[in-house]
Amino acid sequence: MSFVNKSLVPSGGFKYTEPASGVQFRSLSWNDLASSVRKHRIANGYPLPPGWEDELETEVCKQYEPGTCMYVDQTPNAEVRSITVSDVKNFLLVASTWMARGGKFVEQSEAERRANICVSCPKNQEIVGCSGCNNLVSTIARVVGDRGTGQDPFLKGCAVCSCSNKAQVHLPLEILHKGVTDDMKFPEHCWKQI
């Protein structure tokens, strides 16, 4: 994970506790925090392996509310996802299965947990495609009715499956998995991971 913008100081400042010593660090500057941790590790003979600052940033990010940090996409040159005929087929399969099984939703707390993961994911993107295909995305969003999450203003589409994140966070996994194909590679942190 990495900060969306290191020049914006999160509530309470940047903070970190060194596991080896228990020493707590706090700063209003990311660079000052990293420098202090570096000096402490050197002074105490703790290792500074390559990429240690990235690991530090990941650990610090875990303390903050969603939207402060985002998952780093490990896919080189990830492209924007377009809706395909296969996506439409998958959507229809998921929608018909969901309706046939009573149209049930997950608990609100689970929808919120999923939304918090999606909003920090680099795969949370605008999905492009024909207007008819894009209407399918808005149709499923209407299906969830007045259900929402605290992250709705920041939820877009999933660049892996072309699903509307605002809608899919509310649907049971066993229903959503009906539309997953072998070529869909969800990030390691994804709640939809099979």
- Residue 189: pLDDT band with limits 50, 70, 90: confident
3-state secondary structure the chain: CEECCCCCCCCCCEEEECCCCCCEEEECCHHHHHHHHHHHHHHCCCCCCCCHHHHHHHHHHCCCCCCCEECCCCCCCCCCCECCHHHHHHHHHHHHHHHHCCCCCCCHHHHHHHHHHHHCCCCEECCECCHHHHHHHHHHHHHCCCCCCCCHHHCCEECCCCCEHHHHCCCCHHHHHHHCCCCCCCCCCCCCCC
The yes-or-no verdict on residue 67 having pLDDT over 70 is no
Same domain, 62 and 107: no
Q: What is the pLDDT at residue 135?
A: 59
Does residue 80 sit within a domain? no
Residue 130: predicted pLDDT: 52
In terms of domains, do 89 and 175 share one?
A: yes
Is residue 16 domain-resident? yes
Q: Pick the closest to residue 123 from 56, 192, 53, 54 (CA basis).
A: 192
What are 79-98's pLDDT values in tens digits?
555 666 777 777 778 777 88
Q: pTM for this structure?
A: 0.60
Asked whether residue 62 is assigned to any structural domain, the reply reads yes
Alpha carbon 180 to its chain centroid, in Å, reads 18
Final residue of a domain: which of 70, 105, 130?
70
Report the pLDDT value the prediction gives residue 106, as an integer from 0 to 100. 93
61 and 104 belong to one structural domain: no
User: Does the pLDDT at position 77 exceed 50?
Assistant: no
CA separation for the pair 140, 103 (Å, rounded): 12
Task: State the average pLDDT for the chain.
Answer: 81
pLDDT digits (tens, 9 = 90+) for 117-165: 888 888 888 776 655 555 555 666 666 778 888 888 888 888 888 888 8
Range of the domain at 151: 85-179
In this predicted structure, what is the pLDDT of residue 10? 78
